Amino acid sequence: MTVQTTIGQKIGAAIAAPISWLAAIVDAPLKLWQRATGTNGMAAFFLAPNMLIFGIFVLAPFIINFLYSTTSGNAFFLPDRNFVGADQYRRLLECGSYLDPSSCREDLFWKAVHNTGLFVVLQVALLVVVSMITALILNREIVGRSFWRAVFFFPVLLSPVVVGLIWRWILQRQGLLNSMLYQFGYQPTEWLTDRFWAFAAGVTVSVWAHMGFFTLILLAGLQAIPRDLYEAAEMDGTRPGRVFWRITLPLLMPNLLVVIILALIRAVQIFDEVYVLTGGGPGTSTLFLTQYIYEVGFASLLRNPGLAAAASILMGAVLVVLTLVQLQVGRRNEKKGARE
């Protein structure tokens, strides 16, 4: 009986040959390394490249940023800067009342903190509700469901600058929206020069830009809920509202928590689309923390890299807390999943 070699096997052998050759080359030194350092040493060896990249691109910049926050002056290189200890942090935190930004030494920082706080609350709440409603609709047997899913996801693919520009053209004084209002006999509104409307526009545009991503996560969660639960509820004559609160929402909770935490982190970091849309105005109504750091560190005529670094460290601390919450939630979900 003769064994015929197929073309696929030949290609496989051709690919495997250099890999085997490479494996043979690295085999001996790796064995030597394992003998010298033990199994833990091998783990360190394989982790080293990743840790090196993490060290260069994450840890080192963080340390340098922290060192910058303890210095003052305009010089770029650390040795040329004046060491001022915690002065920049003291300056940022010097306040008559933290609830009144104008009583603070760095009133613009606290204005940005207040704006960011309000933005996070409003944007995340709106984002979660809108994403949930959209996911529930897209989970039903509607006409052109795939098309609608693509439509809602499309803004996620756009660059934030493009998002900001599109909405600025719509909302500016002689923009599309005011032209339409005028056509229908209404007075144009100052969408971007009124403090209330500009903030509302920032929240709305941000929700529009990001909801597709979160809708997708919730949609995946909805599709994982067993159909038989809904069929049983239907047979029992359960009202749709009760089905949502008693079946859909509890079973969607793991996805919902992930959505909330991710949305929170993104909202704290808000910058690009709102910056292009409003420039932080009117006044400082849409000045958020990231823009404050950018302005103070790079863009302003009153540039102060040390102060910007200190503000970014404080903002980083908030993000670390949110990330820890996310990790905690993730672990709890894993444990819960394992129990069930």
Partner 1 sequence: MKHKAKILGALAATLLASSAAYAGEVRVMWYSDGVEGEVIKDLLDRFQKENPDIKITLDNVAYKVVQEQLPIQLEAGQGPDIARVTNIKELAGHWLDMRPMLKDAKYWDDNFGSTLDWMRPDGSDAIPGFMTQLTLTGGFANKTLFEQAGVAVPGEKATWDEWVDAAAQVSKSQSLPAAFAIDRSGHRISGPNVSYGANYIAADGSPAKIDDGVKAFGSKLVQWVADGKMLKETWVAAAGSTYRAAADDFINAQIPFYYSGSWQVANLSSKIGDGFDWVATGSPCGSAGCSGLKGGAALVGIKYTKNPNDVVKVMEYLGREDIVKEFSERTLFLPAHKGVVDKGGLKWVSNDKNVAPALDAFVKSAGQTLPAADALPSWKWANAYYAALVTRLSQVMAGEMQLDEAWAKMDQDIADKVAQAK
Q: Which stretch binds partner 1 (CB under 8 A): 28-36, 72-80, 213-221, 261-269?
A: 72-80
Query: Whose Cβ is closer to partner 1: residue 65's or residue 238's?
Result: 65
Does residue 287 bind partner 1 (CB under 8 A)? Answer: yes
Helix (H, G, I), strand (E, B) or coil at 94: coil
Task: Collect all residues with Cβ–Cβ distance below 8 Å to 255 and sequence separation of at least 6.
Answer: 217, 218, 220, 221
Least distance in angstroms from the C-beta of 178 to partner 1: 11
Query: Whose Cβ is closer to partner 1: residue 105's or residue 336's?
Result: 105
Q: What's the burial of 239, exposed, middle or buried (CB within 10 Å: 0-12/13-18/19+)?
A: exposed
Instruction: Provide the pairing of β-strand 71-72 with 82-83.
Output: antiparallel
- Considering only 69, 286, 290, 312, the residue that binds partner 1 (CB under 8 A) is 286
CB 134 within 8 A of CB 282: no
Task: Collect all residues with Cβ–Cβ distance below 8 Å to 115 and sequence separation of at least 6.
Answer: 199, 284, 285, 286, 287, 288
x/- map, 92-111, partner 1, by CB under 8 A: ----------x--x-xx--x
Least distance in angstroms from the C-beta of 181 to partner 1: 15
CB 112 within 8 A of CB 292: yes
CB 146 within 8 A of CB 289: no
Among residue numbers 146 through 205, which ones bind partner 1 (CB under 8 A)? 172-173, 190, 192-193, 195, 198
- Considering only 9, 34, 37, 300, the residue that binds partner 1 (CB under 8 A) is 300
Q: Which stretch binds partner 1 (CB under 8 A): 8-16, 28-36, 208-216, 298-306?
A: 298-306
| Binding stretches for partner 1 (CB under 8 A) | 72-77, 102, 105, 107-108, 111, 172-173, 190, 192-193, 195, 198, 278-287, 291, 295, 298-304
